[in-house]
Structure 1
Amino acid sequence: MSTLYQPSFAAGELAPGLHYRSDLAKWRAGAKRLVNFFVHPQGGISNRAGTQYTGTAKATAAVRLIPFTFNVDQTYALEFGAGYIRFISGGAYLTVAGAPLEVATPYAAGELFALKYVQSNDVLTITHPAHAPQTLRRLGVTTWDFGPVDFGAQLGQVTGLTATAQSDSVPGGTPTPSMRGFRYAVAAARRSPPDYGPLSADATCSNYDLGYNGTNGTRNTLHWDTLPGASFYNVYRFYQGGWGFIGATEDQTFVDTNALPDLADGPVEANDPFVDGWPATVGYYQQRQVFGGGTATPQTLNFSRSANFTSFDTANPLQPDDAITATLASRESNSIRHLIALQDLIVLTASAAWSVSGGDSGVLTAASILVKPQVFVGASDVPPLTVNFDLLYVQAKGAAVRGLAYNNVANGYVGQDLSVLSAHLFTGYTIVDWAWCAEPHKVVWAVRSDGVLLGFTFLREQEVYAWHRHETDGQFLSVCSVSEDGEDVLYCAVRRGGAITVERMRSRRIGPQGTNPAEAWFVDCGLQYRGAPATTISGLGHLEGRTVAILADGNVVTPRAVAGGTITLDRPASIVTVGLPFTALAETLPLDLGQQGGTIIGKRKRVSQVRLAVENTRGLEVAISPERAEREPQWREFKERRFEAWGAPTALLTGTEELNVAGEWDHYGSMLIRQTRPLPCTVLGIMPEVEVGS
């Protein structure tokens, strides 16, 4: 008789080709199946929390959820459908006069998952190659503005410019005219945000005494009309074939006493980089907004002026804060798909990842820009995720998930396949959407093309790379993550029947100490009643005709069907959670002693007893996985009720629990763990007692 011990599941669900690779370090922390169980960064597994019904989406064809974060206390999940956006905050739709707040958009249903976006403060910029870039602005809790980005000059053109030659030493104040003429132009400027208007129409005057005699008191005086929004005005004089700067003033008057024009500081010239087509993606880098890709210029990057996100103007000659245009010198003409600011700007195409930086100076300018290829594995259209200093993206070919991080030894960015150990979860499918929930469990949630939700627990510094899968009575369509109540909360769009519901994954916190079963929420698309003891629970119209799981004051109630939007309990209860049931199932790998103890793979073995280390657990069942598929597992349940008072709910268990499982002799010895009830369970370790035969 041997006692084996699996203290961790930090490798997640492993591909079938690895089920007998006991030589791998990750094998001892792997599982054969993890369905509706997620892996903790510390190695244990818990059944995932259920979801709360937020509402039914307006659209029935396609819905995409996009996060909007004004600050950590004001976050929103945006419901994008064909031609509209709706707003969700704190698990509820924002409403005006009793109806969901809604703004119109130009996007069709088939374009939603090609939208790229980036946020700065309260402005979300959205791109699609078939449409002009748009901005969504938050003006107040229920006041939002949506419209195209204005890439034209924000400041207008100065008008009314006149130039007059004057002299204090000449009778009448008018100096001698000559063939030497002076030609002037003025441009308005704004300090914050920095902006420059176009040059005015020029004005000329002739002044022989200023040009040749240099007579004291001789000058040219300029006047122009006030321009609203201008902070000051730059004055230029035409000299040696170009415009040169001669001064600035906050007034509408300027006096030129023959200042030498600075040709190195010329006026700003208007530039619209999108006259031939709209960009495909958008980002920010070093205080510049950058657009990339598109039909007309698939490999071109357009950086705005520094600190002026909508101006792409340049001066002649170029200045350090001017707009920048750069094109990838690639062997293939694959459009730019994503722009992500890390240490450098990472540019992802369908075939490669590139870095853009300021070179040795570190400051990006038109004269200092370094574009380098990093890895030749391209990205799909799914927006990448930034996880600390790592970039996660979905591979263009297939559905593998890759990581990209800077490596000091390589002096560049290196890639890593993060899904290779669980490749079976991706074969034949694609990832269509995903979101990163850092707290409290550090999980990437990824929507697969068949509606299954994959989870990926990721903590690189502890080498935790654990995939798990999650299913519901429906198909997941889209997800996004926003911060609420100190956690990263996942919002999901789920197709249930003919409708699309928007749901919020609940926290696994069940009371201040995590031990109150009445607070448990382990049903999907659910709602909760809290109030005076009641037997009739209403408001369940979205679950009409469905058989629902029920938890009433911490006690599991027999499932029943929703009729007329209500259910009726046998006994009154004050906290009632109602929703669709789901089963969490974990299966261990075939048993082996490991390399030091020799192998028992292929030998007949029998598990007679199992000890589980559990935390805040109730309703857990254990069985030995039958060697023959046609046989049903013989489930065993822990004895739970012990010292509770009469009428009180059964307490949650924490500690080591033992079960006699009476397994049969077989060649695998895999164990099954499941939770079918709307209750929490966490497994920290498994210790089977194993007899080994020939």
Structure 2
Amino acid sequence: MSVARIFRTPTPYHQQELAELDHVQAFDVVYLAHLNHAPTQLVRSSHTNWAFAPVTLGPTIAAPAGAAVHATVANTDADNGGNAYFPRLATYAVTAINDVTGQESRPSSGASASNDLTLKRNKNLVTWGAVTGANRYRVYKANHESAFGYIGETQGTSFTDDNIDPDLSDGPPEANNPFGPNRNPSTVTFFDQRLIWARTREVPNGVFTSRSADFANMDIARPARADDAISIRISAQKVNSVHALVPLQNLIALTGDGVFVIAGSDGDYLSAAPPPMAKRQSGRGASRLKPLVLDEAVFFQPAVGSGVRSLGFTFEIEGYRSNDVSIFSPELFRGHTIASWAYAEEPLSVVWTARSDGKVPTFTWQLEQQVWGWTLCETAGKVETICSIPEGGESRVYWVVEREIAGVKRRFLERLASAKWSDLDLSCYLDCAVTFRLEAPQRRFLVPHLAGATVDAMADGFAIRGLACDGAGWVDLGHEASRLVTIGLGYEALIETLPLAVQAESGSIQAKRQMLGDVVVQVADTRLGAIEVGRRLDRMQQPRARTTEPLGTPSALFTGAAVVGTEPVTAGEATLFIRSREPLPMTVTSVFLDPVVSEA
């Protein structure tokens, strides 16, 4: 039995706020967004050191301090009675540059002096204190009370101005914070080397970006630079509250009333100068459920109605088109919403969804093979939240599930068993299960979390069903096991084929009496004795369970075609059931039917 410790840390969020919490991760920092809280980050310093802290907006490099100006007035045009001497006030500000991070600090406090720099030998010497981490400094100048403009840079802590005209198209950065009370963002993502926030109470259609490659810096310059922070509002016929942001080839904004693409004015890089644009792509709004990205497609829950929609770029319209991917399984979503979902990319490419009633519709997606479809999974409890984490070369799915064991409701954090196994003994096809690796033979096992439940077990390759777990949590297998034992809640895997719809010489066979006869089921890595095949659930047949294995040993896994006869009953359209109630793998790759069609 594996054991792990849970690390706990205080959080600023209430339990009821978690459903509305959005997040995005950059290495060991997770940025968190919620309407009731200022932008927050969760920083991991070690396995046992995690801490929440508000995001401090602005550059990390300090502004130069102690800026001063010493005016050298060597020429007052005394020979002409000072007729050409016109002193003007000049104000200077200095910023520090860190070449490693690319950050530019906010400007120092202004330092002023009066001088006529148009006359020879007159100059202003600007000085300031050194800044830790600075590789160079930029100097800005404002004549009289005009705007600041760039006049030069230096690696030292002084700069001489001998009548340099300021470049007013390049000004110093200014402190900027678009957030505050009643202006907390609730959506966050990354795009084009920027941290993107959206949707505040005051500006529900607002999108706010950091400076380029400087995630916690929202500063701007006047006039705007291309890498400045950006603030825009998505304007359309309605107030489009931004429910989610998705980074694809473009930045996609999913709002309550439609889908928008946010792109640079040139249709490419997202920059502050020129400002970006928001172009409407679809009139289908999205809910607040965080979308999933599968390959080049986005999956989201619509704002109105039920089901799941996909969004992908199509060259036909040179834009993004939305499609209903739940149209063939509407009964799985009618009257329900999705509380949580996650995409398990490897090895099976499956979307796991926690429905509002605790059941789990799963969506298999293989775009390159044009294979997709929904399956309903039900567990002995209510699944509340789901997530997927890459571990050991595959996507491991975790869920929080509420179960009632012996009349007591308990909440479990469970990890779905690995889909990659080389030995059947290492597989697990049981719910809420635990595995024991034995050093000596034993027959009784303690599973206190399943006390009072009826459980199934896998012991040394044999399946055992219907075991009683007593009030203390002890389970007796009835015989000793020597290697591996897995104990958990059993479940049933059931496949039902669609009615046949083929064209015969006399026309379509639909609505005609059909008899299946022999059925060929193609399986992979499946124990034949664990599956049943038939026309009716109360009259199922098993294929031949053993080939060359000796009695008393577990039958081997089988890959190939299994032939099963079905009862000679004709009763309308013929469908086929394939079922496994054993805690064993069942992989069906295809089914071949040879129906006999009757006109009567």
Query: Which amino acid in structure 2 is aligned with residue 531 of structure 1?
Result: L
Contact 1:452–1:475 (8 Å) recurs in 2: yes
Question: By how many angstroms is 1:640 displaced?
Answer: 0.8
Q: Distance in 1 between matches of 2:421 and 2:171?
A: 65
Q: 2:467 matched to which residue of 1?
A: 560
Asked if 1:578 corresponds to 2:520, the answer is no
Q: Which residue of 2 aligns with 1:35?
A: none
Aligned residues of 1:292 and 1:301 also touching (Cα < 8 A): yes
Residue in structure 2 matched with residue 643 of structure 1 by the alignment: 548
Alignment-derived partner of residue 23 in structure 2: 117
- In the TM superposition, 1:22-101 aligns within 5 A as 93=4, 95=5, 100-101=6-7
The alignment partner of 1:461 has SS state of helix
Contact (CA 8 Å) 2:234, 2:240: kept in 1 or not? no
Residues 225-304 of structure 1: pairs in structure 2 closer than 5 A: 225-239=129-143, 241-275=146-180, 276-304=182-210
Tell me the distance in 1 between the aligned counterparts of 2:47 and 2:259.
39
Alpha-carbon separation, structure 2, partners of 1:356 and 1:348: 11
Deviation sequence 1:268-302 (CA, Å, 0-9, x none)? 11111113510110111211111111211111111
CA-based RMSD of the aligned residues comes to 2.3
- Which residue pairs with 1:419 in the alignment? 326
Give the drift of 1:531: 2.6
SS in 2 for 1:382: coil
* Residue 312 (1) aligns with residue 221 (2): no
Tell me if the contact between 2:118 and 2:163 (Cα under 8 Å) persists in the aligned partners: no
CA distance in 2, matches of 1:603, 1:610: 19
Is the 1:361–1:368 contact (alpha carbons within 8 Å) kept by the matching residues of 2? no
Query: Normalising by structure 1, what TM-score?
Result: 0.80
Indicate whether 1:351 and 2:257 are aligned.
yes
- Provide the C-alpha distance between the structure 2 equivalents of 1:270 and 1:596, rounded to a whole number of angstroms: 79
Supply the distance in 2 between the matched residues of 1:663 and 1:247 (Cα, whole angstroms): 93
Distance in 1 separating the partners of 2:345 and 2:493: 22
The aligned counterpart of 1:147 is: 53
Aligned partner letter, 1:291 = W
Distance 2:126 2:515 in 1: 100
How far 1:156 sits from its partner (Å)? 3.6
**Residue in 2 aligned with 1:13?**
none
Select the residue among 26, 33, 52 that pairs with 1:127. 33
Q: Distance in 1 between matches of 2:306 and 2:237?
A: 24
Change (3 A) 1:278 1:507: same
Q: 1:579 to 1:221 in 2, by over 3 A?
A: same
Alignment of 1:418-497 (within 5 A): 418-497=325-404
Distance 2:500 2:316 in 1: 40
Q: Which runs of 4+ in 1 moved over 6 A?
A: 167-170
> Hey, what's the Cα distance between the residues in 1 that align with 2:504 and 2:332?
28
CA 482–545 in structure 1, closer or farther in 2 if over 3 Å, else same: same
Contact 2:58 2:219 in 1 (8 A): no
Task: Name the SS of the counterpart of 2:123 in structure 1.
Answer: strand
Change beyond 3 A, Cα 1:330–1:169: closer
Distance, in Å, in 2 between the alignment partners of 1:595 and 1:337 is 51
| Mean CA deviation greater in 240-249 or 493-502 | 240-249
Aligned amino acid, residue 199 of structure 1: P
Q: Distance in 1 between matches of 2:421 and 2:444?
A: 21
Is the Cα–Cα contact under 8 Å of residues 123 and 163 in structure 2 kept in the other structure?
A: yes
Q: Which moved more, 1:372-381 or 1:655-664?
A: 655-664
Deviation at 1:107, TM superposition (A): 1.6
Residues of 2 paired with 1:163 and 1:124: CA distance?
A: 44
* 1:197 CA drift (Å): 3.1
The verdict on how the C-alpha distance between 1:361 and 1:353 changes in structure 2, with shifts beyond 3 A counting, is closer
Confirm whether residue 505 of structure 1 aligns to residue 416 of structure 2. Answer: yes
Q: Secondary structure at the match of 2:449?
A: helix
2:95–2:105 contact (8 Å) kept in structure 1: yes
Partner of 1:374: 281
TM-superposition CA deviations, 1:582-617 (whole Å, max 9, x none): 001111223444366623333333334322222222
> What percentage of aligned pairs have identical amino acids?
33
* Structure 1: stretches of 5+ with no match in the other structure: 1-52, 55-91, 171-175, 626-631
Contact (CA 8 Å) 1:118, 1:125: kept in 2 or not?
yes
CA distance change for structure 1 residues 539 and 169 in 2, over 3 Å: closer, same or farther?
farther
Q: Return the letter of the residue paired with 1:207.
A: N
Q: Secondary structure at the match of 1:420?
A: coil
Q: How much has 1:678 moved relative to structure 2?
A: 0.5
Is the contact made by 2:313 and 2:320 (CA closer than 8 Å) also made in structure 1? yes
Q: CA separation in 2, counterparts of 1:112 and 1:180?
A: 59
Is contact 1:124–1:135 with CA below 8 Å preserved after alignment? yes
Q: Quote the Cα distance in structure 2 between the aligned partners of 1:115 and 1:595.
A: 56
Shift of 1:646: 4.3
**Which residue among 623, 626, 639 is the counterpart of 2:534?**
623
Query: Which runs of structure 2 are paired with 1:594-673 in the superposition (5 Å)?
Result: 594=503, 598-618=507-527, 619-625=530-536, 633-673=538-578
Q: CA deviation at 1:442?
A: 1.3
Instruction: Select the residue among 236, 257, 264 that pairs with 1:330.
Output: 236
Unaligned runs of 5+ in 2: 77-81
Structure 2 residue aligned with 1:201: 109
Distance 2:505 2:234 in 1: 53
